[in-house]
A and B are shown apart, each in its own frame.
Chain A
Amino acid sequence: MYLKVSVQPGDFDVGAELQQLRAATPQAGALVNFVGLVRDVSTDGQVSEMVIEHYPGMTEKALQQIAQQATQRWPLLGIRLIHRVGSLTAQAQIVLVAATSVHRQAAFEACAFMMDYLKTEAPFWKKEVGDFGQHWVEARASDEQAKQQWKLPK
């Protein structure tokens, strides 16, 4: 099982990251990935910058735990998680979630699962800056609901 997690201010090269994941898991028949971007518009107006604060120490641990949970639920071969922090410009890449598996369903579901958990459990906070000034992004109830759908029946 290949698992790599990064929290970093710098940008990432999706192509290079996926190539590395493929090389590390040659048995894979499926590679699924998701890239989250900074939207250039919010409810209050045009967004020029997004500042992402996090809790160093806890962030890395939370992402590791989320990835570990995914490996326990699906037959995955590899996982690559990257989340940026600090000041990002509109349209910049924020997050990469990628997974490889023998068949596609495991990788598809694991990527959705990891994003849903990351959005509600990893200690990141976004602040949008734009022509309206600045505001903290509010947590969305729909994100919490999205996570609930993965709850296993007791």
Chain B
Amino acid sequence: MKITILYFARIKEVVNYSSEDVVLPEEVETIIALKSWLSGRGATWQKLFDGSGVVRAAINHELVDDMATFDEGDEVAFFPPVTGG
């Protein structure tokens, strides 16, 4: 399945880009599975998703938790806790 991933704020600076299109293996269809799949890319990614810092996620502009599932063509975003206002 193909999805788009966006990164914001500190996370964007850590991974060094703001968006990418990825083609995922069939079994990767939840946020938690996606985090684990991305962690396989190396130390930087592993550290990002190891639980030491909070990473929030959204699917198609809605805040979601780790168990949420996405579909073909969805937009998934990862970002730190928000600090507006």
Contacts and interface: CB of A to CB of B under 8 A. Distances in A.
28 contacts: A52-B84, A53-B8, A53-B9, A58-B61, A58-B62, A83-B84, A94-B84, A95-B84, A95-B85, A115-B85, A118-B85, A119-B84, A120-B81, A120-B82, A121-B63, A122-B82, A122-B84, A122-B85, A123-B58, A123-B77, A124-B84, A124-B85, A125-B9, A126-B84, A127-B9, A136-B80, A137-B83, A138-B83
Contacts of A136: 9-10, 80, 83
Among B61, B62, B63: residue with most chain A CB under 10 A: B61
B16 to A, nearest CB: 15
The size class of the interface chain A forms with chain B is 20 to 34
Interface of B: 6, 8-10, 54, 58, 61-63, 77, 79-85
B73 to A, nearest CB: 15
Contacts, number: 72
A72 to B, nearest CB: 18
A46 B28 CA distance: 46
Contacts of B81: 120, 139
| Majority-rule SS of A interface residues | mixed
Nearest to B11: A125
A54 interface: yes
